[in-house]
Amino acid sequence: MARSDRLLRLLQNLRTEPAPVTAARLADLSGVSERAIYRDIAALRAAGALIDGQAGYGYTLTEDAALPPQMLSRLEIEAVILGLSAVRAEGDAELADAAADALAKITAALPEQARHHALHAGLRAARVDPKPPLAIDPSAVRSAMWDERAVDIDYSDGENRRTHRRIWPLSVVFFERVLIVLAYCTLRQDFRAFRLDRIRNLETTRESFRPRRAALLRSYLDRNTGPIR
């Protein structure tokens, strides 16, 4: 493997492996010696990459100022186009606009041949059946999730039983036909999943559950609580 290709592969490994990544692990992934990894780390630092760490401890890529265009193969470009196309098809208006803007920025930053691939990508996503209409603004759920603010909701389950709950929104999941918010329910003192189309009213509160969202979401996914009601 040419050294330039190896350096790009090393950058990708630093992005994707849990940090800090040891030189031994990087050497195993790259198929070279640890001494070669030390030289490559020095070369990347000299080229401007901000890599924290040292031999014997491990390395962390702390800043990736720009996505190197040469890192995107034709298949990777197709994957990006397909993913953003799915967001435009499945997301609300705000997400669809954000996906269109992101695609324009990514395409503009690509070198000529890769830009040609992006403009003529063969993969697209389309919505066949419309999702149920929502009584709430989904962006309010996203904002509360990122701000780690509790929300009060009026909810109707599958049997049209109505409850008022305070939940901590952890993640929004896009299923084929519905949107789901994974949350911690303070009423049940447990994890629950709620369909957004069954939320009749939503109000963001001043209650914060920061910085627990990431840990709670991991616990939720580890438990895999089962069917959505």
Q: Domain residue spans in the chain? A: 3-63, 69-119, 138-223
Residue 69: the pLDDT is 46
Which SS3 state, helix, strand or coil, does residue 32 take? coil
Residue 125: the pLDDT is 87
What length does the chain have? 229
Q: Are 134 and 95 in contact (CB under 8 A)?
A: no
Which SS3 state, helix, strand or coil, does residue 29 take? helix
Residue 64: the pLDDT is 55
The CATH fold of domain 3-63 = Arc Repressor Mutant, subunit A (1.10.10)
Residue 227: the pLDDT is 45
CA distance linking residue 78 with residue 69, whole number of Å = 14
Strand ranges of the sheet holding 179-185, from the earlier edge strand across to the other edge:
190-195, 179-185, 162-174, 149-156, 199-208
Q: Are 70 and 2 in contact (CB under 8 A)?
A: no
Q: What is the pTM of this model?
A: 0.68
Residue 67: the pLDDT is 47
Q: At what angle do helices 23-30 and 3-16 cross, to 10 degrees?
A: 130
CATH number at 138-223: 2.30.30
CA distance linking residue 122 with residue 195, whole number of Å = 33
CA distance linking residue 47 with residue 178, whole number of Å = 46
CA distance linking residue 159 with residue 148, whole number of Å = 30
Instruction: Assign residue 53 a region (left: φ > 0; alpha: ψ between -120 and 50; beta: otherwise).
Output: left
Per-residue pLDDT of the chain (229 residues; tens, 9 = 90+): 667 778 888 988 898 888 899 999 999 998 999 999 999 999 988 888 889 987 778 999 875 555 454 467 888 889 999 999 999 988 899 999 999 998 888 888 788 888 888 888 888 888 777 889 999 999 999 999 999 999 999 999 989 999 999 999 999 999 888 999 999 999 999 999 999 999 999 999 999 999 999 999 999 988 875 544 4
Longest dimension (CA), the chain: 65
